[in-house]
Each structure stands twice: as structure tokens, then as C-alpha cells.
Amino acid sequence: MRACVLLPIRVTIGALTVLGMFVAPLALAQVRPAYMKNVDEPGRQPYNFSVQFNVANCVANCSNFVFQNNEIVMDAPAVPAGKRLVVKWVSGQLPAIDGLNYVYIAKYNYDPMWSFGGPFYTRGLVGGAALQSFSSGAFFTVGPLEAPHLVVRLGSYSSVNGSVAISGYLIDATN
């Protein structure tokens, strides 16, 4: 009598196991998250450039250079067509003897997007003159075919070469 009672229970458990193998994937499919598209990732490309200059002229990667009244104004390279530059970090070494300096990056109408007034750190003597170094986080964007305008105000300046580096990434401007 006991074997007769256990047989239906074993058959029922076996049938539920087989049925569960087919039903479980369908049930799990209902709780999967929806796929999302991150519009930044497909076009994200690391981007870094450095402009080099002294008080007399542009040495590398800049244009429209002007030095007047202890202020250097120049344009960095333009952002490629179809891309937008997201700037995350700005650093540099200024041809200055003291730390009374100011750096800003502006749009075409010279409206500042980022600025830095210190602290500056003396890097040591190069060619008999000190370089004032800085490094700072930033967050701003520059549109396609726009050139960031750099303005560097120097306290007491020297004739050695300085540089400003801009780091970030490019994203597709069409998204």
C-alpha cells in the first residue's frame, strides 16, 4: 500500500521538474532589464593637446598669438567637425617668475568657460628663470570646429617656453 502512495508523488515531482525546465526561462525573461543606449560611449575618444609658447611667439599648436601688457592671448587647435570636446583637466607651466598669474579658457566671444588663479608651484630654474606650474580639474565643452581661446596673464614674466595642456574626450556632436 505504501508503494502505491509514493508512486503518484514521484510522478508528480518528475512532471513538475520537466515542466519547470520549459517554464523557468520564460519567467526569467520577464525580469530582464531593458537595454539602454549610452549616447556618449560610441563616439567617446580620449583627447589631449598642448600649446607651447613664450612671450615672443607661439612655439607649437597655437595660432592668433598676441602678447601685450603681460597678457598672452592665443587659440588652441579647433575641435574636429562632427565632434564635441568635453574638457576634464587643464595643466601647464607658465614662463613666470612669480605666482601672480591667471589663466582662463574662453569661447569665441572671450566669455570664460574655465579659469584658474592659483596656487601656482615653482618648478625650478630653466634657462635662469622659474616656471610656475599648475594643474586643475575642469568641466566644460567646446563645440565642433570651435577653437578654445587661451588667455594667460603673467605677473613677472621670463623668456623661457611655457605650455598649457588640455585633456578630455571627444563625443559625437550629432547625438
Give the span between the Cα atoms of 149 and 147, in whole angstroms: 6
Residue 30 confidence class, pLDDT cut points 50, 70, 90: very low
Which residues does 175 contact at the CB level (< 8 Å), separation at least 6? 39, 40, 43
In this predicted structure, the answer to whether residue 33 has a pLDDT above a threshold of 50 is no
Query: From CA 52, how far away is CA 162, in angstroms rounded?
Result: 6
Tens of pLDDT, residues 150-171: 888 888 787 788 889 999 999 8
Topology of domain 45-172, CATH:
Jelly Rolls (2.60.120)
Does pLDDT of 14 surpass 80? Answer: no
Q: Quote the percentage of the chain above a pLDDT of 90.
A: 14
Distances from the Cα of 91 to the Cα of 14, 73, 88, 133, 134, angstroms: 69, 17, 10, 8, 5
DSSP string covering 152-172, please?
EE-SSB-SS-EEEEEEEEEEE
